[in-house]
């Protein structure tokens, strides 16, 4: 069965919402991340980047951010980097193990740290997540006259 962009976003959000350490899940353009108003951390943010179409599949690429708020004296930065790295690994593992209907990835991942980013002095990890879904490109499903 074909998966739509909405299906994939809903599945990725479900992963974040079911993870006991993640307090908030958002998606959209990076400038839409609710940094000033968000008081619920750690945050998982799903940023779509591009889609590649092949014969029977679509690969939707997302930039995933796992972030938490660093205290003013930065005493908790190492702990945040440790916790958010584990969350990032958990998200990758769930997709790689095909625990979410029809989503899979077989990529290797580079998970990059960030510190003191954005307006709220956030720290955490970011990675590109390619999600491959079936698409049979049936012409009979196209709404044409």
pTM over 0.85: yes
Name the token pair of 115.
Answer: 């510190």
The answer for residues whose C-beta is within 8 angstroms of residue 141's C-beta and 6 or more apart is none
Residues 98-111: what's their mean pLDDT?
A: 78
Residues 137-144: what's their mean pLDDT?
A: 64
Q: Report the CATH number at residue 78.
A: 3.30.2000
pLDDT attached to residue 137: 66
* pLDDT(117) > 80: no
Query: What is the tally of structural domains in the chain?
Result: 1
Rounded Cα distance, 10 and 77, in Å:
30
* pLDDT(30) > 90: no
Directed axis angle between helix 77-96 and helix 5-18, to 10°?
Answer: 130
Q: Domain residues for 77?
A: 5-141
Rounded Cα distance, 53 and 31, in Å:
26
Query: What does the pLDDT look like over 70-93, one tens digit per residue?
Result: 888 888 999 999 999 999 999 999
Query: What does the pLDDT look like over 33-57, one tens digit per residue?
Result: 756 656 689 999 999 999 999 888 8
Q: What does the chain come to in residues?
A: 145
Question: 96 pLDDT band (50/70/90 cuts)?
Answer: confident
CB 27 within 8 A of CB 9: yes
CB 85 within 8 A of CB 125: yes
Instruction: Identify the H or E element spanning 110.
Output: none
pLDDT attached to residue 63: 97
């Amino acid at each position: 069965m074909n998966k739509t962009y909405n299906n994939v976003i809903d599945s990725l959000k479900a992963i974040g919402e079911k993870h006991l350490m993640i307090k908030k899940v958002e998606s959209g353009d990076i400038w839409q991340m609710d940094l000033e108003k968000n008081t619920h951390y750690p945050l998982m943010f799903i940023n779509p980047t591009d889609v590649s179409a092949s014969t029977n599949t679509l690969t939707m690429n997302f930039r995933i951010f796992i972030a938490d708020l660093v205290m003013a004296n930065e005493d908790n930065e190492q702990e945040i980097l440790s916790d958010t790295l584990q969350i990032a690994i958990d998200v990758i593992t769930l997709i790689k193990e095909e625990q979410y209907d029809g989503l899979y990835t077989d990529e290797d991942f580079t998970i990059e740290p960030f510190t003191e980013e954005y307006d709220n002095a956030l720290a955490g990890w970011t990675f590109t997540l390619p999600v491959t879904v079936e698409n049979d490109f049936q012409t009979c499903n196209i709404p044409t006259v």
